[in-house]
Amino acid sequence: MIQKPILILKFGTASITQKNGEPDETIIADIARQVAILHADYQIVMVSSGAVGAGKHFIKNYSGEIAERKAAAAIGNPLLLNIYSKYFSQYGIQIAQSLCERQHFGNREQFLQLKETYQELWENDIIPIANENDVVSNRELKFSDNDELATLIATGFGAETLMICTSVGGLLDKDKNIIRKIENIDNQILGLVDNSKSALGSGGMASKLTFTKLATRMGIRVIIFGMKEQDGILKAIKGDAGSEFTAQEVNLSSRNKWLASGSVTVGTLQIDAGAAKAIQKRSSLLAVGIRKVKGDFEMGEVVEIVDNHGEMLAVARTKVSSAELAANLKTINYEVANANDIVLI
């Protein structure tokens, strides 16, 4: 099989639904038309929200409580997939459903099984459509939204491009014009964010920029685009529409990309300036450089490493539990995480 670049396309609820939350078949038909054109050149994963909106009107007196949302998703998922299947079949393309949970990315073995499944689908020219498994997802281990799910798939699979559809068509400047090219997501860029979000969806532009920043740091080009423009997907991937965020150069193994982006972090280690310099020089993390320990974790679990100001520096797989660490914080040359298990962010 010829290896084609991997493209992840994410469509939020507001992008593919009508004002009442039900799927907009006109938009979905247009998505199928454009994705069918790209299908020849890319291995594609679509991440699509909209299941709750598709199913909620079947729930009597729906008020949005968790149990009602789960029930609505259970009804809406097959309905939404049937609509996608209806329009993709017009181009001879079969789709597949992929309901994901956070633990599928936190456990390396489960993640590799997911990756193998997608490879098998791609070898048979089938496009997987991923969504969170809302019916059974644990409240504490949910994805923050489907922007996160799309980013985890993109980084874990080594995607070339991640495209995120939004109702506004890109990142807007202060005059409400779309910024075409962004080299770096700094405080000036973050300051442009309107913190309001769609009443239908769970994530706004702040969420998109958070995960865009992670994806670009993992060497992935990210494009935030819209479907209101004619051929919005096709134009955006060529750089003729939407906002393009430049991929940064990165030299990480696939394992370390997974560790940096896909692992479920269960604690936080705040370190001093000396330890920060040491890990940035690719040294191991020693107990004497740790100022605070937050969370309960076991040996081999993944934690965040932050500096004096709480800024995230890295993630690391620990060699000790939080209890063992607490008892040895003053111990000289006590290794908490080996350099090979630390990934700088």
Give the closest residue to 28 by CA, choosing from 42, 15, 10: 15
- Model confidence pLDDT, tens digit, residues 22-78: 889 999 999 999 999 999 999 999 999 888 888 888 999 999 888 898 899 899 999
Distance, CA of 104 to CA of 298 (rounded, Å):
19
- Model confidence pLDDT, tens digit, residues 124-140: 999 999 988 877 665 54
Question: Which DSSP string corresponds to 239-265?
Answer: TSSSEEEPPPP----HHHHHHHHTS-E
Q: Measured between alpha carbons, how far is residue 10 from residues 14, 150, 187, 207 in Å? A: 12, 6, 25, 13
Burial 145-173 (b: 16+ CB within 10 A, else e): bbbbbbbbbbbbbbbbbbbbbbebbbbbe
Size of the chain in residues: 345
Confidence (pLDDT) at 278: 93
Confidence (pLDDT) at 145: 73
Confidence (pLDDT) at 136: 66
**Highest-scoring range by mean pLDDT, 127-136, 145-154, 268-277, 336-345:** 268-277
Other beta carbons within 10 Å of 344: 16
Confidence (pLDDT) at 252: 72
Q: Look up the pTM and report it.
A: 0.79
What proportion of the chain, given as a percentage, has pLDDT over 90? Answer: 49
Amino acid at position 119, single letter: Q
